[in-house]
Structure 1
């Protein structure tokens, strides 16, 4: 929901840093994999109840997630890079709730619900992107991407905000996870309605 509104604010500094990294020989895929590694490590830190360390890792991971596109724009974008980026994103999305499930067994049911919600959201996102590609649709509302990004209530910005709240308020993980899972379900409904209207 907020991604397209935040992009004009964060893209200029990210693009400047991305150009410098590209000049230094850093590739977009290296940045993507480094971000994924930090994101998965955040999940491990959560599992050991090191919540503030996890918070720092979550934020660093997402900075790198923004930088990989900036590096790609400064060099060249590739379909494989787009593939790696989405796989890395969902590895991160799964790692954090999984960590909370290991940190406290009472978190496990809602951690599973949240992972299931992410799965459905991801499927709706990718299915819409496939249909959009077949129809030749394009958009740069979320920046220049390898495939079509359909907006919804729960996007990257909202996910990061939820994860930050979980790390700051781990005892409220269940409530935050329940609310965000509901937002994910609403997003799936939104995309399904959009798909019905756009691809009859």
Structure 2
């Protein structure tokens, strides 16, 4: 829901950061991997109940995730690179891993520290699974049938109320407030579940 607005708001800062990082040794794929490594360390920190470190690492990982595409587009615009389907694949795979492991890490830490139940976090993972299935299947079929939704990303993304911006906010929120993590997860699972249903219905209608 907030992705379009956030991308517009962050466009200039990301462009400036990408310009500063535009060096031979730094590539979009390396930024993607760096973002994934930071997200994995963040999940480990959450599991160890180092909540402050976990939220900082999580936000840094998402900055790296935003910079990889910006750097790639900057280089293409200057004739120093071409569109990389491998890079797009790596980016979406890294996102799925980061989100899933992030849920696991906070669930582990919140359960150990505050006796939080597991099942709200499992609901979040199920909702993520359905969402991922819906938009990845849609993107694949849309590509073959010439019905892509082009918003500058590698895949045809069916935007709904739970998108990347909301996911970053929620994952940050339950690291900042781990004693409420399972309640946040329960509410979030409802939002993601509604988005999953919307994506299934919308994808089916667009492909008919």
Structure 2 length-normalised TM = 0.90
- Residues 138-177 of structure 1: pairs in structure 2 closer than 5 A: 138-141=148-151, 144-177=152-185
- Residues 39-54 of structure 1: pairs in structure 2 closer than 5 A: 39-54=39-54
**How far apart in 2 are the matches of 1:136 and 1:22?**
34
Among 105, 121, 124, the residue aligned to 1:114: 124
In the TM superposition, residue 127 of structure 1 has moved relative to its aligned partner by 1.0
Q: Which residue pairs with 2:69 in the alignment?
A: 69
In the TM superposition, residue 49 of structure 1 has moved relative to its aligned partner by 0.5
CA-atom RMSD in angstroms: 1.4
1:31-70, CA deviations, whole angstroms, 9 ceiling, x for partnerless residues? 0000000011111000011111101011100000000001
**How far apart in 2 are the matches of 1:107 and 1:63?**
31
In the TM superposition, residue 24 of structure 1 has moved relative to its aligned partner by 4.2
- 8 Å contact kept, 1:43–1:99: yes
**How far apart in 2 are the matches of 1:60 and 1:94?**
17
Q: Which residue pairs with 1:89 in the alignment?
A: 95
Dislocated runs of 4+, deviation >6 Å: none
1:59-104, CA deviations, whole angstroms, 9 ceiling, x for partnerless residues? 1000000000011112233001011101110111011110122211
Q: Which residue pairs with 1:102 in the alignment?
A: 108
- 8 Å contact kept, 1:19–1:70: no
Gaps of 5+ in 1: none
**How far apart in 1 are the matches of 2:129 and 2:154?**
20
**How far apart in 1 are the matches of 2:149 and 2:101?**
29
Deviation larger for 162-171 or 112-121: 112-121
Please state if 1:13 is matched with 2:13. Answer: yes
Gaps of 5+ in 2: 76-80
Structure 1 length-normalised TM = 0.93
- 8 Å contact kept, 2:134–2:199: yes
